Amino acid sequence: MATAKAIAAYRGARALELSLAGVNQSQIARELGYRSSGAVSKALWRTINRRAAAGVDGYRALELERLDELQSAHWPKALDGDTKATEVVLSVIDKRIKLLGLDRVANGSDAPGEVVDSGFWTHVREEHDGKMAAYLDAHAGGDCESSGPDVP
């Protein structure tokens, strides 16, 4: 059974597809059952932002792999007392902390100093994989920047 979020994600993806094909927002609203062209615009931006976040997560994962490789290469020498290797390892650890957001404090938290959950994006990505990802992959063949009308 489809959830409201899954339906909204599908409609947003379809709205983006139609927009890229040159269909105006009023027509998209009628075809997909949005209340107005403004609602279509909001759905388009949500969809674009979700796709951008997914791209950032992929890049973050790649950079984490690179940092892991660097740390692994220098770790044995650092443990043996090599100061240059130790500096490299500490620099890699610092970069990983920043990349994961572990250097930031969660805003609005009841617990002062609570660290932002570094597994949050992994959880979100895993939760939204599957049918929606397959649909988006199958229908996202075009270059978003060069085709279709501008999205307000």
Q: Where are the domains of the chain?
A: 4-139
Please check the confidence at residue 113 and state whether its pLDDT lies above 70. no
> What mean pLDDT comes out for the span 44-64?
85
- Predicted confidence at residue 146, as pLDDT, reads 38
Q: What is the pLDDT of residues 1-35, one digit of tens each?
A: 568 888 888 899 999 899 989 999 999 999 999 99
Residues 6+ apart with CB under 8 A from 19: 25, 28, 40, 44, 148, 149, 151
If DSSP codes are grouped into helix, strand and coil, which group holds residue 65?
A: helix
Q: How many residues does the chain have?
A: 152
Q: What is the pLDDT of residue 48?
A: 87
Single out the residue of 9, 33, 19 nearest to residue 132, CA to CA: 9
Do 89 and 101 contact (CB within 8 A), yes or no? no
Cβ atoms within 10 A of the Cβ of 84, count? 10
For residue range 56-93, what is the model confidence (pLDDT) as tens digits? 788 888 899 999 999 999 999 999 999 999 999 999 99
% pLDDT > 90, the chain: 41
